[in-house]
Amino acid sequence: MTASGHPHNQLLQMLEAADFDLLRPHLATVEMVRESVLAEAGAALRYVYFPHGGSVSITVGLSEGQMIEVAMLGRDSVVGGGAALADGIAPTDAAVLFPGTASVLEIPAFRVVAAASVQFRGLMIRHEQALLAQAQQSVLCNTLHPVEARLARWLLRAHDLSDSESLPLTQETLAQMMGVRRNAISLVANALQRAGVIHYTRGQIEILDLRALETTSCDCYGTVKAHHTRLLGTLR
């Protein structure tokens, strides 16, 4: 909890005391275990999650089993908020990428608070705009930009959500998230390591030079961050 009594989630911290008091009785804290599924595309949601830490990967997939990440959510986000305001059906898959804790509430309680609080409902709508901007930028980035720039953008987003230079990642996971072959990730990771930007060991990537990583990234990282700041403020 923060000094105000709000959990460590940017959206919850933005609520005025009276609005948060509407939400407080319905909230529980849960552990987000790595690789646990929070939502499945086409299935009814039971809960809405407000991560305190860690990150959640939002992915879309094909019937053949291929998938790609379109957004990464964490302590600046909510998982399932937009669907809860609509028909309660998840439009995409959501799975825990990095473990952490989250505040969680059931869909009926979420809707009651959203109906009673103009501020809460407005935050959820603005978050959906920020999420849409992130997903749209990801599509553009994955279509037009080289793997090196895309990997740098992805690592910067992961760093923002974790506040750590050390990220528990395998090349297989990165390849799956980015929709590329593992050998493409291996070539780029090796090049970044030789340049002193990252250090990679099996299952772990350490960011050594954040400024160089920002230079390597495409403009998509800054664009998405600017959208989020405009709609929801700076991640604290």
For the chain, what's the residue count?
236
Q: Which long-range contacts (CB under 8 A, 24 or more apart) does 198-207 make?
A: 198/155, 200/171, 202/170, 203/168, 203/169, 203/170, 204/166, 204/167, 204/168, 204/169, 205/155, 205/166, 205/167, 205/169, 206/165, 206/166, 206/167, 207/155, 207/159, 207/165, 207/166, 207/167
Q: Which residue segments constitute the domains of the chain, with CATH numbers given?
A: 10-129 (2.60.120.10), 146-217 (1.10.10.10)
Q: What is the DSSP string of 207-227?
A: ES-HHHHHHHS-THHHHHHHH
Q: At what angle are helices 118-144 and 220-232 packed, to 10 degrees?
A: 170
Which residues, including other chains, have CB under 8 Å from residue 114's CB and lie 6 or more apart? 84, 85, 120, 121, 124
Distance between first and last Cα of the chain:
14
Q: Contact at 8 Å (CB) between 148 and 195?
A: no
Residue type, 75: R
Q: What is the pLDDT of residues 94-134, one digit of tens each?
A: 999 999 999 999 999 999 999 999 999 999 999 999 999 99
Q: What is the pLDDT along the chain (236 residues), one digit of tens a residue?
A: 554 568 899 999 999 999 999 999 999 999 999 999 999 999 999 999 999 999 999 999 877 777 899 999 999 999 999 999 999 999 999 999 999 999 999 999 999 999 999 999 999 999 999 999 999 999 999 999 999 999 999 999 999 998 788 999 988 999 988 889 999 999 999 999 999 999 998 889 999 999 999 999 999 999 999 999 999 987 66
pTM for the complete prediction?
A: 0.93
